[in-house]
Amino acid sequence: MPLSAENARIRLRIRTGALSLTAAAGILGLKFLTYRLTGSSAVLSDALESIINVVAAAFVMLSVWLSAKPPDSSHPYGHGKIEYFSAGFEGALIILAAAGIFRAGLASLLRPRPLPHLDTGMLLLVAAAAANLALGLLLIRVGRRTASPALEADGRHILTDVYTSAGVIVSLAVVRLTGKLWIDGAVACLLGVYILAAGIRLISQAYCGLMDASNPELLASISAVLREHRRENWIDIHQLRAWRAGDNVNIDLHLVLPRDLTLSQAHAEALAVETILKEKFGQQTTVLVHTDPCPDPSCTLCNLHKWNRETLTMASEDKKRLAKQCNSCQSKQPRNNEPETETRRKQEMATIFTKIINGEIKADIVYQDDQVTAFRDINPQAPVHILIVPNKEIPTVNDVTEEDEQTIGHMFTVARILAEKEGVAESGYRLLVNCNRDANQEVFHLHMHMFGGRPLGPMLMRQ
């Protein structure tokens, strides 16, 4: 997800948290005013629950702010779990309030007291309930949209407050109509039990989040994405585990690949899994892929790879003889006699950048025109790590022709523009192009790396 979208999401959460805190304080004032007017213990129970709303909203603000902090060396998985603490804390406060409400309700059930100013009291309570309803629905909506369990829990809590206020309004109306004062205490006791159940539910949700309880919904959506984008070499995916911490999703899995893949081919497959999952769940997602060689000796896919490798590493004399035997094969011979699997891998990796350029795969694109596209590297090696890519698919520097000269020159102009935009023009940056195996080129669509934002050390790794 682009940084600006992420920042907008965090700002929206913090603004909504602040609104919740202010509104909860105003509504609390309204309810205590109603209690002072009527002396109803049911109203008192409602007001007591509202004190919790204020404390909880303050805690939500704190946790939303903390969870927005990026991962650091002491919290490598980010700070998202603070939101579960907030939900748990809120649950504990609700249980305390339930006990207080039950006590007040029991007292007025056993010794009913007269309730003055009922009409005004009921009107004030209706206003408070309407304000709470609007606030609760808003918090749930923003909580879902910005994947914040703390905001969502706060919204749900506020909705329980609306139900309690509605119950209290009905009970006051019944008291007014029938004159039976004990109803006020009985309703307060019932509300106490209802609120207790809500508190227990919140605590159990927070417990599941903190203990990384399995999340079948999340696992199902990960499986669906991987099924949809399954690549030819993926024999099996197992030991899939995933947990959420705030809006950070952490995923680890074992990917079974054909036994004969090279290390860089296996790496490319793992990178593809990572890219697909980050596209779906956001760039802050942590993906750990453990690659396993296929254990089945009779596996068709593995045998196909083995056949390719053995056939294509035959002595070159044999290869020439084989090619002569079949003219049609000659046209299919890979360039420079490269092993066919290697060529196929290069073709697959090349298309990744074309898909990004065409908008078929998401990336954080920072520049695009009719010749060049630049986007942030999925695996940044420096605070600024941008790939500047010609829109035309040129596999390596070796394939550059005279007609590409204008585009290649333009890539440097784009580098200059981006260096200024990223604020590294003065501090310095490095432009780097890898070509083929010794340079570890992974994606065979010519690209220029732009690194900056920190001292970059010596140019080459020492031998």
Q: What residues make contact with ligand DGP under the rule CB under 6 A?
A: 271, 275, 352, 356, 361, 363, 375-379, 387, 434, 440-443
Do 161 and 132 contact (CB within 8 A), yes or no?
Answer: yes
Minimum Å gap between C-beta 377 and ligand DGP is 5
**Structure token digits, residue 361:** 């795969």
Sign of CA dihedral 166, 168, 171, 176: negative
- Is the CB of 152 or the CB of 348 nearer to ligand DGP? 348
Task: Find the radius of gyration of the CA atoms of the chain.
Answer: 32
Minimum Å gap between C-beta 450 and ligand DGP is 11
Instruction: From residue 453, give the alpha-carbon distance in Å to each of 24, 311, 425.
Output: 43, 47, 10
Minimum Å gap between C-beta 360 and ligand DGP is 11
From the list 79, 157, 445, 447, the catalytic residue is: 447
Minimum Å gap between C-beta 440 and ligand DGP is 5
**How many CB atoms lie under 10 A from the CB of residue 279?**
17
| Cα distance between residue 429 and residue 455, in whole Å | 9
Please report, as a single letter, which amino acid is at residue 53: N
Minimum Å gap between C-beta 463 and ligand DGP is 20
- Is the CB of 228 or the CB of 426 nearer to ligand DGP? 228
Q: Is 161 exposed, middle or buried (0-12, 13-18, 19+ CB in 10 A)?
A: buried
DSSP letter (8 states) at residue 334: P
Minimum Å gap between C-beta 104 and ligand DGP is 60
- Is the CB of 356 or the CB of 418 nearer to ligand DGP? 356
SS3 category, 306? helix
Please indicate whether residue 445 is annotated as part of the active site.
Answer: no
- Is the CB of 188 or the CB of 249 nearer to ligand DGP? 249
| Cα distance between residue 433 and residue 447, in whole Å | 6
Residue 366 backbone phi and psi in degrees, to 5? -105, -15
- Is the CB of 34 or the CB of 275 nearer to ligand DGP? 275
- Is the CB of 203 or the CB of 387 nearer to ligand DGP? 387
Minimum Å gap between C-beta 269 and ligand DGP is 12
DSSP annotation string for 33-83: HHHHHH--HHHHHHHHHHHHHHHHHHHHHHHHHHHTSPP-SS-TT-STTHH
| Cα distance between residue 332 and residue 321, in whole Å | 15
DSSP annotation string for 385-446: EEEEEESS---SGGG--GGGHHHHHHHHHHHHHHHHHTT-TTT-EEEE---TGGGT--SSS-
- Is the CB of 86 or the CB of 441 nearer to ligand DGP? 441
Q: Please tell me the number of Cα atoms within 13 Å of 234 on its side-chain side.
A: 20
Minimum Å gap between C-beta 381 and ligand DGP is 7
Do 112 and 179 contact (CB within 8 A), yes or no?
Answer: no
- Is the CB of 156 or the CB of 278 nearer to ligand DGP? 278
Catalytic center residues: 447
